[in-house]
Chains A and B, each alone.
Chain A
Amino acid sequence: MKRILVLVVEDEQFLTRVLKDNLEAEGFMVDLAANGDEAIDHLHKNRPDLILLDILMPKRDGFFVLGEVRKNPEWKGLPVIVLSNLGGDTEIKKALEMGADNYFVKSQHPIEEVVQEVRNYLVGENKKEAKIGEVSS
């Protein structure tokens, strides 16, 4: 069985560590990207099954990645969950409008929940569907 790949896009080192550990404990494969460009790079090289996306990153930010993912028909149907500490309504709204499937404000959710949400999209009978179709960025 092919192992499910999750791409974690996050610049904070210890957070990526934490996410990786937790996800691998669930049995997922984890790819790491520290900024937008790296993320796109990984997308091209190793198409993941789901993206955990931070917003505030150096160089290109999460919105850029979102835009790219939704623009490219190759990555259609790819679930994107935004993980950010930006709690402002504007950012959340923007991310969702740009095609993010969900938005977690890190400090408000235990990692458990995040993991569970990933499972919802990737595991089991009633998988959640990613947002289909083009979303203009």
Chain B
Amino acid sequence: MTIKKKVQFIALGVLLCIVAIAGVFVLRNLSVQVAEARLDKISSVVRGAANLYAISDRFISNPSTETSAQWQDEYQKITETLDSPSFEAYKDKEQFLQLRRHNNTIGALFIQMKNATGDTHLRARFSEQILHHTNEFVQDSAALASIIFTETEVIRRQTTVGFFISLEILFAIVVSFVVLMVRNVTNPLMKLTDVVLRMGKGDFSLRAPSRTKDEIGSLGAAFNEMEDKLQKRTKDLEEAKANDEKLLEDLNSRVAQLEDARKAMTNLFQDFEDERAQLMEAKAKDEALLENLGEGVMAVDKDKRIILVNRVAENLLGIQRENVLGKKYYEVFGNQDVEGKIVEEPNRPITKVLESGKKISTPVGPFAPYYYIRSDGTRFPVAITVTPVILGGETVGVIDIFRDVTREKEIEKLRIDFLALASHQLRTPLSGTKWLIETIRRGVTGEVSKKQQEYLEQIYQTNERMIALVYDMLDVLKIESGETAVKKKNFSPHELYNDLEVLTEPVIKKRGVIMRNVLPADSKISAFTDFDILKGILEEYISNAAEYTPDGKEIVFDAQEKDGSIVFSVKDNGIGVPKDEHDKIFQRFYRASNAKEFRPDGTGLGLYRASLLAEKINARLWIESDTGKGATFFASIPQTTN
């Protein structure tokens, strides 16, 4: 049974008790009231009876109408009182009946007495009887009064007892209520409190009272459930807390690391700032340099877009930096070859370098193969060097450095024209004198004496030397001016030798030497270079050998493959070259000391010319020789294939 029901029961009990008590109380009061009313009435009867006696007594002594009226009044009162409902309960009681009898008798007697007015004796008897009965009446009434009084007391007592019993019952009920409360509510609640307190301390071992089938029981059960959940929750929380703590630890260490990193970064940053300042300075210097270079500089990225252009480039090409940055270079300025043909984009040096990653530069000197076209359509000759910018093995852009060589070209044209003119102007008189002398010697102008012939011979030779000198000088000047273009092709040493044989035949014959080659007939050597230039070098060698070798001796021509090069050699058995003059003989106008002795009329330009030619085809020249022991002149070219 639930507490609620129990309480309800108790409440009901209490209510009933209270009602009982009230009832009892009311009952008591009523009873008491009734009893007291009765008592009151009987008292008044007693008093009235007493009065009546007194009055009767007076009447007897003095029978007046007044007194009779008083006696009748009093008697009326008593009768009425006896008739009152208060005595309803006693109406069958003996004492009361007796009282009534007395009352009636008295009344009757009085009437008789009254009626017996003349008879004093009768009156006196009636008076005696009235007194007697009144006295009896008084005594009876008093007795009744005392009975009633006792009854009243009893009732009073009883009801009080009843009242107190009720009270006791009530008390008991209350006590039992308290007990109930203590047992079923307070105790469990205290236990619950205990459990809660323990729970608060983390002890989930205590169980709440849950066995009773009432609200407390449900509460207890619910509490236990909660306890279990809480325990679990607490455990989870503790786990989580442990995790969190670990996490926090991690975080802290991370933060410490980050802090270190931050410090490092700050230092690094400071270093960077310093570097940056330096770089800015360097950059400013570079920019100043770039701007003030005498040459145009243009940088192009791998998408062929212009990323840098300096002031000179701007001026030369008639463009503005702001307008061209980011544009494809071939849309900004054009390129023409020497013949004035437009060079299409795929063939332009910038594109070619981007693709090949190899530098392209036009030859030094006025031999400009390209013209750049300005924004206004005019063109100017350029000497360009296009260099790839390689980053991590990849070509990420190119730098084109170019120079307007109009002036150089003009100067060179002047030079060439001068050369051409000079050569013609010098050769003409020289060839004139040559033929004049020859004509005389031939006798066309008349007979010539022996002595005259000797002199003429001298003059002729001198003239020849002059011609040779003019030729050599002009030739050297020509080579120096870079006019000779290099035309590479494949050829065998045999081909070369055959040409050389023809070319050097005059000087060989003149000097009376013999030339042969020692090339194997099936030689597979294939040279790839400028045929004419190499021929020129070897021709110099051969004529040198011929000039400085005594009659009848041999000149041997050879060509060998060695270490990735092809080495041509011309060996003679002539006067040789002193060891300390090996380097010098290639210098302009230098003649070896023993050469000057042997042949005073050399120009000193032959080997110099050979060295200029060698430069053009990247050939290396050297000599092996000793004084009086002949000489071998070498020329090696790199062995490359087409």
Contact = CB atoms under 8 A, between A and B. Distances in A.
Interface residues of A, number: 20
B442 A22 contact: yes
Contacts of B438: 110-112
B257 interface: no
A15 B444 contact: no
A56 interface: yes
A41 interface: no
Contact of A18 (B424, B436, B467): B436
B427 interface: yes
Contacts of B432: 12, 14-15, 18, 106
B428 A21 contact: no
A21 B444 contact: yes
A85 B427 CA distance: 6
A25 interface: yes
B65 interface: no
Interface string A22-33: 100100000000
A124 interface: no
B430 interface: yes
Given A85-B423, A85-B427, A112 B442 contact: yes
Nearest to B478: A88
A107 B434 contact: yes
Contacts of A105: 427
Interface in A54-70: 56
Task: Specify the main secondary structure of chain A where it touches its partner.
Answer: helix
Interface in B132-178: none
B439 A107 contact: no
Given A12-B432, A18-B432, A18-B439, A106 B444 contact: no
A73 interface: no
A32 to B, nearest CB: 15
Interface in B433-485: 434-436, 438-439, 442, 444-445, 467, 470-471
A133 interface: no
Contact of B424 (A22, A56, A111): A56
Nearest to A84: B424
B427 A107 contact: yes
Contacts of A108: 467
A22 B427 contact: no
B424 A106 contact: no
B527 to A, nearest CB: 22
Interface string A79-109: 0000001111000000000000000011110
Interface string A13-52: 0110011011001000000000000000000000000000
Contacts of A112: 438, 442
Contacts of A19: 435
A86 B436 contact: no
Contacts of B439: 18, 21-22, 111
B423 A106 contact: no
Contacts of B424: 56, 85-86
Contacts of B427: 85, 87, 105-107
Contacts of A22: 435, 439, 442, 444
A71 B445 CA distance: 38
A111 B428 contact: no
Contacts of B431: 15, 85, 106-107
B420 interface: yes
Contact of B444 (A25, A86, A110): A25
B435 A111 contact: yes
A87 B423 contact: yes
Contact of A110 (B430, B434, B445): B434
Interface of A: 12, 14-15, 18-19, 21-22, 25, 56, 85-88, 105-108, 110-112
Given A14-B436, A106-B431, A110-B438, 18 more contacts: A15-B428, A15-B432, A18-B435, A21-B445, A22-B435, A22-B442, A85-B427, A85-B428, A88-B420, A106-B427, A106-B434, A106-B435, A108-B467, A110-B435, A111-B435, A111-B438, A111-B442, A112-B438
